[in-house]
Structure formats: C-alpha cells, structure tokens
Amino acid sequence: MQVELYTKFDDNLKDIWLNLESKGYLTPFQSYTWLSRWYNIVGLKDKNIEPLIILVKEKNKPIVLFPFCKRKSNFIVLVEYIGGIHADYKAPIFAKEPKIDRQNFYILWKNVKAKLPHHDLLMLNDQPEKIGDLINPFVKYLRVKLKTTASHHNIEGDWNNFYNEKLKKRIRLDSKRCIRNLEKIGKLKFKVSKKITESVEIIEKMIQQKRKRYKETGLSDLLSQSENRDFYLSLPYVENSSINFHFSSLSINKIIIATHVGFIFNNCFYYLMPANEFGDWKKFSPGRLLLEKLFEQSFMEKNDVFDFTVGGESYKQYWCNQTIGIYNYNKAATIKGHLYSLIEIFKRKFIYTEFNINFIRKIRKYIHGLLKKNIEKF
C-alpha cells in the first residue's frame, strides 16, 4: 500500500482525481470541479487553509482519495475535509474495486493518519451514511456521532401517480389555488436557464433573495462574504465537468419570484440553493411552486433520485421517501485538540440547541422590525 500527499491542486493530481472520480463512489461535493473551484475562489482567501489531499494506492492503482485540508483556528491546528460550508456532504472517494472490509480499512486508515502533518484535532464532520451505493466505511467501522439527517426521494413510476396519489391533497389544492391567483396577475413562467447570462441573473437573484431572508429571520448571512457569492456566480462558466449545473426560476410578468441553483450528478438531482420572494408574494408560495416544477422535471427526465441534502426541515417529509444519517468523526491528537473538541460538544448540546437558535432568531427578527419601523417614521 502506497500513501501520497498533495498540498496543491495541479495537473498531475487533477488527472488522478478525475480518473478515480469517473469510476468511484463519491458525491458531487467531492468532485474535482467542485473542490478545486472552492479552493481557488474561497479557500485561497483564507491564509489559514492548506490542502492536504491524500491518495492511497494498492499495487500502484488509486483506491481511495481523502480531500483533506489543514486549517488553523485560533490556537489549534485542525485537519478536516475541504469544502467548508459549500460541501453539504463530506467524504473520501472510494474506488469500486477492491472492496474494503473492516480489517483493510483499519490498516488503510492507520497509514493515512501516519501521513498527516502535526495537528491537534482530526475533525471529519458532515459524513453521509452512504456514498452512492456504498455504506461509508467511516460510519460503518469507526465511532461516529449523528449530527443531522439528509432526505431524498427515490424516483419510481410517473409524475402524475406521485402527484395525485402520494402528495397530500391539501398541498395539491393549495398549489392550484396559488397558480390560479398568480395567473390573474399575469403570465406565470417556469424557466431553466440555457445561457450564461440567464444563469448569472438567476444566481444574482437567488443571492439577493437569500440575503434578504437571512436578515428578516435573524439567520447568519452565509453570503455576506464576497468569496461565497463569487463561488456561486462562477458556476455558469464551468466547462467539461461531471456536474451538470442547473439554474431555474419562476417568474410572473418577468418578475422573478423564486429561484433555484443546483445540479445533476450521476442521475441524481440536488436541490441545493432555493430562494424566493416573501412579503406580498408569500401567500402564493412561490418556493413550493418552483419545487413542484423541479420535481416534475426530475420525473420526466428519468432521474433516479431527488436529493434535498442536509437538514430536517418539516416540509421535506411530504416529498421524501428516505432519510440517511449525517455523522461527525472527531479524534484529538493533543490536549489542546481534546479541549477544543469538548468545547464544540458543549456548544452543540447546550448553546446551539434548536430552542436557543429559534429564540435568538426571534430576538433578531424583533429588533429588525423595530429598526425598520423607526426608519420608516423618518
């Protein structure tokens, strides 16, 4: 077994990565397109991030690729998956052959850890229970902790059968009512972008809608940093990728009221960045209407899966027929790393609870409302 370490994205690594990607187990968030683009646009701006791409070979044949990075956070050094907030699923890329059993994985993982530079904490979070058809060896063989879930719909049969027999009647009736009322206002149009200029327009609108919603609900604005916005704005210019990027919108009289930025990978549609207008448009449920169109399109185009990615939002239960776990694996290498890990566990259990987060959102929303009223007075 040979273990190689790469600390930059170069042509040699690209060729190896793409070859393994073409016939391995991975999610689109481990594709060379996604991660190299993330590093060049987002990661490089953070001087504390250094790529640590580890390639494992058996008889000179690549069998696993670990897309790690080293990140300095205050007083400690972390080793984690590369991709940051833009990688919903984080995992290695596994070749389909040879199969890796428990014993082989332990040997492989021991060799990989020996190749890592000095660090305080190995923090491998957001790992899906399954990578395609493969049960993730990290989840299967190591001690991991459940973080959240991810939901998807395995597509079977035809759209009309799903819509009329599986989707709740009240949702169908409400959607029909919303469409009727919107059509009284003007022409309702669903569009999937075919041009770069259209795609950029949709992404810009998605960013605007997301940021407005973050502000109104008191959520952290993940798109406040220019590099995060630039990452999405760069996607229409990607060429020769295994990812088929998908940009769509719902508009009324040329006013875009809902947007979605996602992609198709290995015949799976990823519902990644939906956004919509609120205010006077909220009563028309534009986000759900666009979701219905995307769901119908996935049925018509014979996609295998419609993936909502991470999060346990309540609306997903009406659309999904399978849920998988998303797990964290943390291993401290020093006392500092152990203390950091304990602090993170404490935060998750006692500070970043659903109750506390919702309470903070309400306070922020209340303050935002007061400020808005005072501004309007003047």
* Parallel, antiparallel or unpaired: strands 305-310 and 145-154: antiparallel
- The string of DSSP letters for 107-167 reads HHHHHHHHHS-S-SEEEEEEEESEETTEEPHHHHHS--EEEEEEEEEE--S-HHHIIIIIS
For 74-117, what is each residue's pLDDT tens digit? 889 999 999 999 999 999 999 999 899 999 999 999 999 999 99
In one letter, which amino acid is 274?
P
pLDDT at 74: 82
pLDDT at 311: 87
- CATH fold of 156-303 reads Aminopeptidase (3.40.630)
CA distances from 271 to 94, 136, 189, 307 (A): 24, 22, 20, 6
CA distances from 341 to 84, 122, 357 (A): 18, 10, 21
**169-185 and 286-300 helices cross at what angle (nearest 10)?**
110
Tell me which residues of the chain have a pLDDT lower than 50: none
CATH number of 2-150+324-333: 3.40.630
At 372, list the tokens: 């808005």
pLDDT at 164: 93
Domains 2-150+324-333 and 156-303 share a fold: yes
For 78-87, what is each residue's pLDDT tens digit? 999 999 999 9
At 191, list the tokens: 């569009």
The residues pairing with 307 across neighbouring beta strands, listed in sequence order, are 152, 270
pLDDT at 351: 63
Q: Where do the structural domains in the chain lie, given as residue ranges?
A: 2-150+324-333, 156-303
